[in-house]
Amino acid sequence: MLRVAITRAAPENARTAERVRAYGAEPILAPLLTITPCTYDTGTKAAQALLFTSSNGVRAFSGARELPALTVGDATAEAARAAGFADVRSAGGDVANLAALASATLNPTSGKLIHIAGDHVAGDLSGQLSAAGFTVERRLAYISVAAEVLPPALLQPLDIVLFHSARAAETFVRLGAPNSATLTAACLSPQVAEPLRHAPWRQLIVAPAPREEALLDAALGGPDSPAGASA
């Protein structure tokens, strides 16, 4: 059975672990980031919609749920619906897809957009939407604290390491990338993979789309995946 390390933060790593088990692999929780909520303004006056680029932002938002919630992907949309938002629109991809969704479904003259975000956001959502005429207000809802020492789980025998964020990838490399030459790195996107190119790997896989199901299929699901090759 393949041993698959999951470097994303809790509580989302538990959901990923369930999916890894469904592929017949053994999940190993090895978070490289810790999510810490912040105190911030949750008021939505004069806003026409909320933007969420992660499920962590949804969990950190305690304001009103009447506005449309535009999310970067399906997992974040799922979290928004579970949190009580009725009008949830998923971009099904990355920040560029979210900017395109907002531009296609919202009007720049109908009010500002509030981005409930963490301290590290991939891409330039505000820049893209500002160029389309929107006013975007970013609210810092949480910070992601990088590990200063490697989780012991990453020093155990492993086959695959999953990376959902560039921050986790950067942290792994900064902490020495132990045993990387014997491991497969599976990355959610090219941006996540970029920091990992500074370490040697047995194989480096990039998901064909920035969605977890695509990541797990690439790592565990097909005949060309490490799982298929070992079968």
Residue 206 exposed, middle or buried by CB count within 10 Å (0-12, 13-18, 19+):
buried
Report pLDDT digits (tens) over 107-126: 999 999 999 999 988 778 99
Instruction: Select the CATH number that applies to the domain covering 3-32+148-230 from these four: 3.30.559.10, 3.40.50.10090, 3.90.1150.10, 3.10.20.740.
Output: 3.40.50.10090
pLDDT tops 60 at residue 231: no
As a whole number of angstroms, the distance between CA 213 and CA 221 comes to 9
Q: For the chain, give me the number of helices (H) and strands (E)?
A: 9, 11
Give CA–CA dist 72/51, Å, rounded.
Answer: 8
Across 192-221, average pLDDT = 95
pLDDT digits (tens, 9 = 90+) for 124-175: 899 999 999 999 999 999 999 999 999 999 999 999 999 999 999 999 999 9
Does residue 228 surpass a pLDDT of 70? no
**Any idea which fold 36-144 has?**
Rossmann fold (3.40.50)
pTM of the full predicted structure? Answer: 0.88
> Which residue has tokens 């303004």?
41
CA–CA distance, 135 with 153 (Å, rounded to integer): 44
Q: How far apart are CA 90 and CA 92, in angstroms?
A: 5
Please calculate the CA angle 162-164-168 and round it to the nearest 5 degrees. 90
Same fold, 3-32+148-230 and 36-144: yes
- What pLDDT is attached to residue 229? 58
Please tell me which residue, 94 or 106, carries the higher pLDDT value.
106
pLDDT digits (tens, 9 = 90+) for 22-81: 999 999 999 999 999 999 999 999 999 999 999 999 999 999 999 999 999 998 999 999
pLDDT band at 93 (very low <50, low <70, confident <90, very high): confident
Q: Which two tokens stand for residue 97?
A: 């897809």
Domain boundaries, the chain: 3-32+148-230, 36-144
Rounded to an integer, the average pLDDT of 202-214 is 94
Task: Flag whether pLDDT at 227 surpasses 80.
Answer: no
